[in-house]
Amino acid sequence: MNDTVFITIAALLSTSFIVRILPAIHGFQLPEAMMQWAESILPTAVFLNFIAYIFIQEIKVSVLAASVSLVITALIAFFKAGGLMLGMTGGCVSYYLIAAHLNQITF
């Protein structure tokens, strides 16, 4: 293993330790009222930010394909019109079809 790869893996492992392992093992317990808040409101905020982040990142690649397919995925999820597999298929198929139609994919 060369030095650069070793340093890269060490940085990745250290990151995991700082952002995931350390907060999970330090044993800090939130008060019960705070815990309920942290288990319902905070995750909602995280998931809303996931969506905004993904949308902004994906429209940089293809505005139309990403907008249409992410709306389709969100609607399938919201109305529970099938499971995750159907949501993923609907989103991906619509994205790749529109991107191919717009000649944004070259085979």
Q: Is 81 in the site for other proteins (CB under 8 A)?
A: no
CA distance 81 to 15: 38
Site for other proteins in 82-101 (CB under 8 A): 83-85, 87-88, 91-92, 95-96, 99
Q: Is 106 in the site for other proteins (CB under 8 A)?
A: yes
User: Distances from the Cα of 84 to the Cαs of 37, 44, 80, 91, in angstroms?
Assistant: 27, 19, 9, 10
Q: How far apart are the first and last CA of the chain?
A: 36
Q: How far is the CB of 25 from other proteins (least distance, A)?
A: 6
Contacts with other proteins, 24-63, as mask; x by CB under 8 A = xx-xx-x-x--xxxxxxxxxxxxxxxxxxxxxxxx--xx-
